[in-house]
Structure 1
Amino acid sequence: MKINFRNLTVQVIIGIILGIAVGFLFPEFGAKLKVLADIFIKLIKMVIAPIIFFTIVIGIGNMGDLKKVGRIGGKALLYFEIVTTFALAIGILVVSIIKPGHGFNTKAAEGADVSQYTKAAAETSHGVMDFILGIVPDNALAALSGGTLLPVLFFAVIFGIAAASLGEKAAPVISFLEKVSEIFFAIVNMVMKVSPIAAFGAMAFTIGNFGIGSLISLGKLMGSVYITMFLFIVFVLGTIAKFYNFNIFSFLKYIKEEILLVLGTSSSESALPKMMERLEKYGCSKSVVGLVVPTGYSFNLDGTSIYLSMAAVFIAQAYGVELTIWQLVTLLGVLMLTSKGAAGVTGSGFITLAATLAAFPMIPVEGMALILGVDRFMSEARAITNLIGNGVATVVISKTEKEFNPSGVTQTKSQKTSIAS
């Protein structure tokens, strides 16, 4: 079979393989290549806030029916809460059965400095009222420049509703934003051309900095996390997909480029703009994609939810702390709140874990050092699960709104199979 080296998927795979090789053979040099991935992620984050703003405003503005906006938003939030609760519960169940932390040598955590994470967690408010206040931006420009998705979502929804209420008067503004949006997506297409280089740099850093050996030392925990996320995707998301008449494996094949990009960069945010385009081509309406995908990146982090629940129980097991059933239920409740505050970027899950442990003094926070070395490896799994979870959610909401139209998609030969319900 002839390999098309111009294909982005092939290029990203090559970048990942070369990154692993360079990190393994030249660890010091590989550890310095993280800058390649950092630059790429900054380039993507540069356009995420405007793209989300334009997409939501255009979607709501063209929708016109404000009741429909509320209905789609309500359905999405209900779906997110149910599915992420499943993810949290599955994580706690699997780690409680496998018990990867039992008998673990906690001396590795003695004297470890995790202050940067506990400090960041302390500075991040996780109370209900603080969370709600954090959604409302101080001003419109702050929402777009702050780098946090929730304030952008809030401002975009308010702007879109106001535009929709004006009807034809707002039509020129919506038309203008559509044209500007096309320019920003063109920028994304330009940035994506360097994604194989970013994947190369990220993997070289990961292997060079932590080494292949770090994969073995905490293999049981990593294996538990990967197995849990696999089971969640195949059985939970697969069952949801089957109920709504589409195949999870065909869907995964369809978004393989986005999955590989996330694998290389460890950030689901890096694939957000292209994922939105891909879902529209899959058959989801622009308005549903514009509302559900950005909201999902703050409220539907399935992979992060699984990771947080398993990591917290793992640390408790490692220190011989036996959590009662009521403490596990309380942990589930706390995680239902803290997991919603985690953004889809590398490292945020670790900070959120610190905030979660702060509510459970019986679990030593210094235990975070036990998983610090392999957190990077698990971040790929949770970022990919986040991406897939939001994709499935968008298709589901589109189908419930009867705004899923695969027949209107321009299909390549490979996509015809992928889009089949």
Structure 2
Amino acid sequence: MSRNDAAPGTVTAPPGRTRRMLSHLYVQCLIAVLLGAAVGGLWPSVGADLKPLGDGFIALVKMFIAPIIFCTVVHGIASMGNARAVGRVSLKALIYFEVLTTVAMVIGLVVVNVVKPGSGLHIDLSTLSTKGLPPEATTAHEGFAEFLLAIIPATLVSALTGNEILPVLLVSVLFGFGLHASGEAGLGIARGIEKVSTVLFTLIRWIMRLAPIGAFGSMAFTIGNYGLGTLRHLGLLVGSFWLTALFFVLVVLGTVMRLNGLRLLPFLRYIKEELLIVLGTSSTEPVLPRMMAKLQHAGASKPVVGITLPAGYSFNLDGTAIYLTMGSVFLAQALGIDLSLTQQLTMLAVMLLTSKGAAGVTGSGFIALAATLSAVPHVPVAALALIFGIDRFMSEARALTSLVGNGVATLAVARWEGELDEHRAKAVLRGEIPYAPAPAPPAVPAEPGPKETPAPTRDPVPAAS
């Protein structure tokens, strides 16, 4: 039988289709995550040694985050017709953040009180020690004044060289208002900053091709270092947390999307590559530049995206909000501490502060929980040792929930502000206007011009009057 003869009933996939499928970043990341889990499970020591792959990828992306936020926010503010528009967007975003964060915390509080994953453990506090915890966990107490002062950078440049998002936002907003008030002089600078932003996003697109390597290394380290058996020790807490996060995404965020005339599941398909990268790296920071670009492609104006999404990385961590209430009450249950409703509500009020400013990096939720326990006397900080070993397995759910929450928040604020092209958004989410066009077949030369329908220009820099 010749190679071209196929047996009856045999269906073979065209090689070109397989190659095209493997060329998608989300497929590469999915394969990398599965391979990483396999390597970590079969060869734990090898998996634990692969941690630098994930750390290196995250570090590569993080070095671009501050300048990208700066360029996007500055150009976005300079593009708005008046300064009131910036204040209006910021106020709406902050109100949304507080409402959704509170809802997330209340849901977590209800679930942990109903499921009671820590009941029956009867842990003796004297057997616990903070020696193995990261130093930040035992020195995480921060008052409101310190929180505000930490937003102010030492110098204008140091905000762009540090690892905190809030100082970058402060400098960017001030600089943007300065350009807006500078007339013709600010106009040229704003256009130059937009060109710099284009270069930065090009570099990010190149770096994101390394995402499968980072996801592979991070997943191999997680499984190799902590082991699959770790999940069984406190599986009820891990499982209930994942289910609660899923409920929040599908029900709460799904409702927000429906109220704004959009659907959640198409949006999740639209950001599937970013979700898989976050699943592998357990961090939302590596996908911030891509999320900004995708939300603009989906019809949200550049100024709204530039203000809302970066701010959400500090003020709208829905996954961390759920984790804080569930984690703190779980520890109390494990130690046999009966928290009254008043005590739990007091902790929730403190969490509204401690959950802010926790950047979307691996382990920030754990540090926020330590800050909460340090600020209230109900649960000792030493109890953190109980969940330190399994925190990594909840980190992915925190990051995924927060990523989806910030994407939904940006679309919602843009629509409320009248800065969302709803027809384009629906078309993009239906897949009619792809974010990355498929390679054109080489058979017939195409007419010169763009391969995909460009987003309408929604944020021109106004000429100085």
What is the match of residue 161 of structure 2?
Answer: 145
CA RMSD in angstroms comes to 2.0
Post-superposition offset of 1:146:
1.3
Q: Once the two structures are superposed, what CA deviation does each residue of 1:175-234 show, in whole Å capped at 9, x if it has no partner?
A: 111111111111111110110010000110011011111111111001110111111111
Q: Once the two structures are superposed, what CA deviation does each residue of 1:78-109 show, in whole Å capped at 9, x if it has no partner?
A: 11011101111111111011000001253699
Matched, 1:80 2:97: yes
Contact conserved, 1:64 with 1:167, CA < 8 A, in 2? no
Contact conserved, 2:96 with 2:409, CA < 8 A, in 1? yes
Matched, 1:244 2:260: yes
Q: 1:256 aligns with which of 272, 277, 282?
A: 272
Paired letter, 2:288: L
What is the match of residue 230 of structure 2?
Answer: 214
What is the match of residue 93 of structure 1?
Answer: 110
CA 1:25/1:332 → structure 2, altered by over 3 Å: closer, same or farther?
A: same
Post-superposition offset of 1:357:
0.9
CA 1:109/1:417 → structure 2, altered by over 3 Å: closer, same or farther?
A: farther
Q: 2:404 aligns with which of 378, 388, 400?
A: 388
Contact conserved, 2:29 with 2:212, CA < 8 A, in 1? yes
Post-superposition offset of 1:411:
6.6
What is the match of residue 23 of structure 1?
Answer: 40
Post-superposition offset of 1:418:
9.3
Contact conserved, 2:137 with 2:367, CA < 8 A, in 1? yes
Q: 1:167 aligns with which of 183, 188, 191?
A: 183
Structure 1 vs Structure 2: percent identity of aligned residues? Answer: 48
Q: 1:314 aligns with which of 308, 330, 333?
A: 330
Contact conserved, 1:315 with 1:363, CA < 8 A, in 2? yes
Matched, 1:281 2:297: yes
Contact conserved, 1:37 with 1:265, CA < 8 A, in 2? yes
Paired letter, 1:58: H
What is the TM-score of this pair, normalised by structure 1?
A: 0.95
Matched, 1:51 2:55: no
What pairs with 1:6-405 in structure 2 (closer than 5 Å)?
A: 6-104=23-121, 106=123, 110-114=127-131, 116-117=133-134, 119-121=135-137, 123-124=139-140, 126-405=142-421
Q: Tell me how far apart the structure 2 counterparts of residues 410 and 84 of structure 1 sit (CA, whole Å).
A: 26
Post-superposition offset of 1:360:
3.0
Q: Tell me how far apart the structure 1 counterparts of residues 125 and 265 of structure 2 sit (CA, whole Å).
A: 40
**Equivalent residue of 1:415, what SS?**
coil
Q: Tell me how far apart the structure 2 counterparts of residues 49 and 326 of structure 1 sit (CA, whole Å).
A: 40
Post-superposition offset of 1:336:
0.5
CA 1:27/1:328 → structure 2, altered by over 3 Å: closer, same or farther?
A: same
Post-superposition offset of 1:168:
2.6
> Unaligned stretches of 5+ in structure 2?
1-12, 436-465
Post-superposition offset of 1:355:
1.3
Q: Tell me how far apart the structure 2 counterparts of residues 120 and 130 of structure 1 sit (CA, whole Å).
A: 15
> Unaligned stretches of 5+ in structure 1?
none
Contact conserved, 1:56 with 1:291, CA < 8 A, in 2? yes
CA 1:123/1:140 → structure 2, altered by over 3 Å: closer, same or farther?
A: farther
Paired letter, 2:413: I
Q: Answer 1 or 2: which has greater helix percent.
A: 1
Q: Tell me how far apart the structure 1 counterparts of residues 393 and 358 of structure 2 sit (CA, whole Å).
A: 18
Contact conserved, 2:267 with 2:429, CA < 8 A, in 1? no
Contact conserved, 1:281 with 1:410, CA < 8 A, in 2? no
Q: Once the two structures are superposed, what CA deviation does each residue of 1:64-88 show, in whole Å capped at 9, x if it has no partner?
A: 3101000000000011011101111
Number of residue equivalences: 418
Q: Tell me how far apart the structure 1 counterparts of residues 104 and 259 of structure 2 sit (CA, whole Å).
A: 18
Q: Tell me how far apart the structure 2 counterparts of residues 413 and 300 of structure 1 sit (CA, whole Å).
A: 23
**Equivalent residue of 1:343, what SS?**
coil
Larger radius of gyration: 2
Contact conserved, 1:109 with 1:367, CA < 8 A, in 2? no
Contact conserved, 1:91 with 1:307, CA < 8 A, in 2? yes
Deviates further, 119-128 or 316-325: 119-128
